[in-house]
Chains A and B, each alone.
Chain A
Amino acid sequence: MTEPVTDPVIEARGLTRRFGDLTAVDALDLTVEPRTIYGFLGPNGCGKTTTVRMLTGLLTPSAGRVRVLGHQLPRDAERLKRQIGYMTQKFSLYDDLTVAENLGFVAEIYGLGHRVARQRIDALLSTYALEPMRNRRAGRMSGGQRQRLALAAATIHEPALLFLDEPTSAVDPENRRDFWERLFDLVDAGASILVSTHYMDEAERCHRLAIMESGHKRADGSPDELMAAMGAQVVEVEAPNLRALKQRLSALPEVISAAQLGSRLRVLVADRIHDPVAWLRTQPLEPVPTALESARPSLEDVFVTSTGSHVGTGGQRA
C-alpha cells in the first residue's frame, strides 16, 4: 500500500442504475473514507450488488458521478482494476483447480513476479489457514474454506480498496467472526473495505454503514450514530399471551413495530412519546403486560425504523 490517503476512496453523487422499467439503484450519494469498513445493509434485491458492480466499473451507471480511488468511472475502469479487489457474492474461482493453482493463476493475471507471487501465496495460505489444503481442489472445500480462499485471491495484489459482496452468506458464525478479524487486519494494514451484507451482527462491526431499501439509501452513519438518531425508543414487554398482545400493540399509531424475541416483545415506540414505559402502562392492553422495561436500541431496531420492514438475522435468501 502506498502513502496514506486522506481523500475519500469512494465518492458517488446521484448514482442511478435502471434495468428497463426497474430502478435498481436510485440517486445514491456515498462517501467512503480511507481505512474504514463501510457496510451496505439491506435485504436481498435492494440494490447492494448493483451498487458494488457500478463502483467496481462492471456496470455503467444510468446517471450520476463516481470517483473511486481518484479514478473517474466508468471511463477509467481498466486503470482502477489493478488497485481494487472484488470478492463476488457467488464463489468465482475455479472449482477444478487446487487452492495453490487458483492463487497462482490470479497472481499471474495481476502480473506479480514469480518470487513475489510465491511469497504472497505462502503468506496468504498461512494468514487464512489454508496451508493444509494447498493441494485440495476448491470445489471440494467447505463454505468457510472457500470464502477464505476467495478473500486471499481478492487481496493477493494488495489492493487499496476491497469490495466484498455478501462475503459470509455461506459461512457459519464462528468462521464469520474469524473472517471479520482478518478484515480488520487488512484495514490496519491500510486498506479500505466496502462490504454488503444482510446480517445485523456484521453490519454492527462496520465503521460506517448505509441502510438500503429498494434502491434507496434510507440512512447512513456509524452504528452508534444511527442508533442515537433512530427516532424511536425500545421497550421490552413481558406478558402471558404475546401473540395477542403483539396484535394490539401493532394497531397503536405510536408503535412503529412489535417483534417477538423469545418470551418477550420488543416494541419500538415513536420518539414523540416522552416516557414510553409509562405511556404503555396507561394503554388499555389485553392481556395486561406483566413487565415493562426500557432497552438499548440495536441495529435491527434502526433498520426497522428506517425501512419499515423487517430483516431476519438468519440466512434466508430471496
Chain B
Amino acid sequence: MSALLQSVRRVLAILSKELTQLRRDRTTLGMVIMIPLIQLVLFGYAINTNVRHIPAALVDQANTGLSRALTEAVEATQVVRFTERYVDIPAAQDAIVQGRVRAAFIIPPDLSQRVARSGSVGAGLATPPSTDEQTSRPVAQWIVDGSDTMIAGAIKGLRAMPLTELLRRPANRTTPTFAVALFFNPEQRSAINIVPGLVAVILTMTMVMFTSAAIVRESERGNMEMLINTPVRPLELMLGKIVPYIGIGLVQTAIILLLGHLIFGVPLQGSPLALAVATLAFIGASLALGLVLSTIATSQLQAMQMTVFILLPSILLSGFMFPYEGMPVPAQYIAEVLPATHFMRMIRAVMLRDAGLTEVAGDSLWLLGFTLAGLLVASLRFKKRLD
C-alpha cells in the first residue's frame, strides 16, 4: 500500500472514530440541533434595533385640550409610552434617576401660544427659520436618560415630529430635504439583518468549541498516550478531527436559514453556490482556529474559556451588532482577523443583496488561507512527545 493511501486510511479511521463517539454523546448531539434552533427563535424575535415603547414620564403643565392632543400624537409614534405622570419637573427627573422611566416629556404652560406661533410661520415644521427669535422656540421639551445612545437617538428622532395633525393642516405640506429609498429591507425589519448574522455567531460558537476541546479531550481522558505511540501523524489527526464537524456546521446553517425563512421571512437573494462556498470556508476557518486553541489549552475548561474569548469579539466586532464601518480603524483591523467578520460580510451580501461567487471570492480566499494556516500551526504545535 502506498504511503498516501495509508495516510488517508488513518485520517478515515480517526474520522469514523469521532463520528461514533459523537453519535453516542447524546447531549452534544442534542446541542447541535437545539443551540441554533433556540437561539434563532430567541434572537430573531428579541433583537430589535428599532427602539419602541420606551417608558416615559409626562409633565403636562398646560393641561389643555391641545396638550392632551399633543401627548396622544407623541404616543401614536409608538416610540414612547407614558407610564408615569407628574405635576412638576423635579419629580420627573427623580423618576429618571431611579430608572422608572427613560425620558420625561415636559409641556410648558404656554403651549398654545408656542404652537400658534410655530404654526403661523413654519407650517408645522419643527424647525422654523432660526432667524426669527419668536418662532424658533420649540413647543415642548424632552429630558432623556442619554446614557443609552440608542434610546437617546430614538427620542432625538422625535425632534422633527410634524405637528400637522394638531394644526389640522394637510400632511403633504411638509417636504423632507432628502428622499431615501431603502433597498433590500424596505420594511426595516431587524430579523432580516440578524438571522444571517446569527449563522456566523452560532457557527463560531459551536465550531470553535467542538474542536478546541477535541485534542485536549484525548489528553484529559488519557487516550493521547496511546495515540502518540501509533504511527499517526499530527496533520492526519487534525484532519480526522475536523472533518466530521464540517457536516455538523452545514446542518446548523441549514436549520438557521430554513427556520429564518419560514418564521422571519428572510430571503435568499443571491446564488446558493456562493452561499455554500462562503459557509464552507467559514466552517473550515473556525474549526482550524479551534484546533489551534486545542493545542494551547491543557484542559477542556481552558479550551472553553478560550472559545468565549474568541466568541465575544466575534459578536461585538464582526458587524453582527454594530456596523463595522462605524468602528475606529484599529478595531476594524482586529475585526478583520476574526473569521466571523468576513463571513458576516459574505452571508449578508449573498442572502440580502444578491451577491454571487465573484463578490464573495475575496473573503472566501482569505478564510481558506486562514484555514490552511490554522491547520499548519496546529500540526506544528502538536508534538508526539510528552516533554
Within 8 Å by CB of A110, from B14, B221, B231, lies: B231
Task: Flag if B17 contacts A92 (CB, 8 Å).
Answer: no
List residues of B (346-387) whose CB comes within 8 Å of A's CBs.
384-387
Q: Does A111 lie within 8 Å of B386, measured CB to CB? A: no
Cβ–Cβ < 8 Å partners of B10 in chain A = 108-109, 111
Instruction: Pick the interface stretch among B18-26, B134-142, B317-325.
Output: B18-26
- The answer to whether the Cβ of A255 comes within 8 Å of any Cβ in the partner chain is no
> Binary interface profile of B, 164-189, with partner A (CB < 8 Å = 1, else 0)?
00000000000000000000000000
Chain B neighbourhood of A92, CB < 8 A: 222-227
Q: Which of B33-66 contact A (CB under 8 A)?
A: none
CB distance from B230 to the nearest CB of A (A): 5
Are the CB atoms of B21 and A59 closer together than 8 Å?
A: no
In the complex, which residues of chain B have a beta carbon less than 8 angstroms from the beta carbon of A95? 221
B229 within 8 A of partner (CB)? yes
Q: CB-CB contacts of A3-36 with B at 8 A, as 1s and 0s?
A: 0000000000000000000000000000000000
For the complex, give the distance between the alpha carbons of A101 and B231 in Å: 18
Taking CB atoms and an 8 Å cut-off, the chain A residues in 75-99 that contact chain B are 77-78, 81-82, 84, 86, 88, 90-97
Whether the Cβ atoms of B17 and A105 lie closer than 8 Å is yes
Which residues of the other chain, B, contact A82 by a CB distance below 8 angstroms?
231
Q: What residues on B are CB-neighbors of A111 within 8 Å?
A: 1, 6, 9-10, 231
A53 at the interface (CB under 8 A from B): yes
Taken together as a complex, chains A and B put the C-alpha atoms of A59 and B383 apart, in Å, by 11
**Which residues of B have CB within 8 Å of A106?**
230
With contact pairs A94-B17, A108-B12, A111-B10 given, residues A78 and B231 touching in the complex (Cβ less than 8 Å): yes
- Please report the number of residue pairs spanning A and B whose Cβ atoms sit closer than 8 angstroms: 79
Complex alpha-carbon distance, A57 and B12, angstroms? 26
Interface status of A256 (Cβ within 8 A of chain B): no
Instruction: Give chain B nearest CB distance to A296 CB in angstroms.
Output: 40
Identify the interface centre among B228, B384, B387: most chain A CB within 10 Å of its CB.
B387
User: What residues on B are CB-neighbors of A105 within 8 Å?
Assistant: 13, 17
B276-289 to A contact mask, C-beta < 8 Å, 1/0: 00000000000000
Chain A residues with CB under 8 A of B95: none
**A102-127, CB under 8 A of B: which get 1 and which 0?**
00011011110100000000000000
User: When the two chains form the complex, which single residue of B1, B13, B21, B232 contacts A94, counting CB atoms closer than 8 Å?
Assistant: B21
Please determine whether A97 and B17 come into contact, CB atoms closer than 8 angstroms: yes
Tell me if A141 is interfacial: C-beta within 8 Å of chain B: no
On whether the beta carbons of B230 and A97 are closer than 8 Å, the reply is: no
- The closest CB in chain B to the CB of A93 belongs to B226
A86 touches B229 (CB 8 A): yes
**Distance in angstroms between the alpha carbons of A86 and B229 in the assembled complex:** 7
Query: With the chains together, A45 CA to B230 CA distance in Å?
Result: 26
In contact, A96 and B25 (Cβ under 8 angstroms): yes
What chain A residues lie within 8 Å of B385 (beta carbons)?
57-60, 74, 77
Indicate if A147 sits at the interface (CB-CB under 8 A).
no
- If A94-B17, A94-B223 touch, whether A59 touches B231 (CB-CB below 8 Å) is no
| CB of B285 to closest CB in A, whole Å | 28
Q: How far is the CB of A17 from chain B (nearest CB, A)?
A: 8
Q: Is A56 an interface residue (CB 8 A)?
A: yes
Interface pair B231/A81, CB less than 8 Å apart: yes
CB closest chain-A residue, reference B17? A105
Question: Given the complex of chains A and B, what is the CA–CA distance between A315 and B224 in angstroms?
Answer: 26
Q: How far is the CA of A59 from the CA of B229 in the complex (A)?
A: 11
In the bound complex, what is the Cα–Cα distance between A74 and B14 (angstroms)?
Answer: 26
Cβ of B222 and Cβ of A90 under 8 Å apart? Answer: yes
Rounded to whole Å, the gap between the CB of A235 and the closest CB of chain B is 45
User: Considering residues A93, A105, A106, which has the most beta carbons from chain B within 10 angstroms of its beta carbon?
Assistant: A105
Q: Which residues from 219 to 250 on chain B have a C-beta closer than 8 Å to any C-beta of chain A?
A: 221-232
User: Residues 46-62 of chain A: 1 if any B CB is under 8 Å from the residue's CB, otherwise 0?
Assistant: 00000001001111100
Given A109-B232, A110-B230, A111-B6, are A58 and B225 neighbors across the interface (CB < 8 Å)?
A: yes
Residues in B neighbouring A97, C-beta threshold 8 A: 17, 20-21
Q: How far is the CA of A153 from the CA of B9 in the complex (A)?
A: 18
How far apart are B217's CB and chain A's nearest CB, in angstroms?
11
Query: Are B226 and A88 in contact, CB atoms less than 8 angstroms apart?
Result: yes
Report the minimal beta-carbon distance from A12 to chain B, rounded to whole angstroms. 17
CA distance A58 to B231 in the complex (A): 13
Which residues of A are found within 8 Å of B13, using beta-carbon distances? 105, 108-109
Which of these, A59, A81, A93, A109, contacts B386 with CB under 8 Å? A59
**Across-interface contacts of A91 in B (CB, < 8 A):** 222
Chain A residues with Cβ below 8 Å from B223 are 92-94
Q: A92-B222, A109-B10 are in contact. Are A58 and B229 (CB under 8 A)?
A: yes
B384 contacts across to A, CB distance below 8 A: 58, 77-78
Q: Tell me which residues across on chain B come within 8 A of A53, comparing CB atoms.
A: 386
Q: Look across to chain A and name the residue whose beta carbon is closest to the beta carbon of B232.
A: A109
A86 to B224, CA, bound (A): 12
Known contacts A59-B386, A60-B385, A96-B25; A109 and B222 CB within 8 A of each other: no
Residues of A near B1 (CB, < 8 A) are 111, 113
Q: What residues of B have a CB within 8 angstroms of the CB of A84 in the complex?
A: 229
Interface hits, A211-250 → B, CB 8 Å: none
Query: Is A109 touching B230 in the complex (CB atoms < 8 A)?
Result: yes
Chain B residue nearest to A61 in the complex (CB): B387
Knowing that A88-B226, A101-B20 are A-B contacts, what are 11 other residue pairs whose CB atoms are under 8 Å apart, sorted by A's residue number? A56-B229, A58-B225, A59-B387, A82-B231, A88-B222, A91-B222, A92-B225, A94-B223, A96-B24, A97-B20, A105-B13
B contact residues vs A (CB 8 Å cutoff): 1, 6, 9-10, 12-14, 17, 20-21, 24-25, 221-232, 384-387
Cross-chain pairs A/B with CB under 8 angstroms, 26 sampled:
A53-B386, A58-B384, A60-B387, A81-B230, A88-B225, A92-B222, A92-B223, A92-B224, A92-B225, A93-B226, A94-B21, A94-B221, A95-B221, A96-B21, A96-B25, A97-B17, A101-B20, A105-B13, A106-B230, A108-B10, A108-B12, A108-B13, A109-B10, A110-B231, A111-B231, A153-B226
Kindly list the 7 A-B residue pairs having the minimum CB-CB distance in the complex, ordered from nearest.
A108-B13, A92-B226, A86-B229, A109-B230, A111-B6, A90-B222, A88-B225
Interface residues of A (CB under 8 A from B): 53, 56-60, 74, 77-78, 81-82, 84, 86, 88, 90-97, 101, 105-106, 108-111, 113, 153
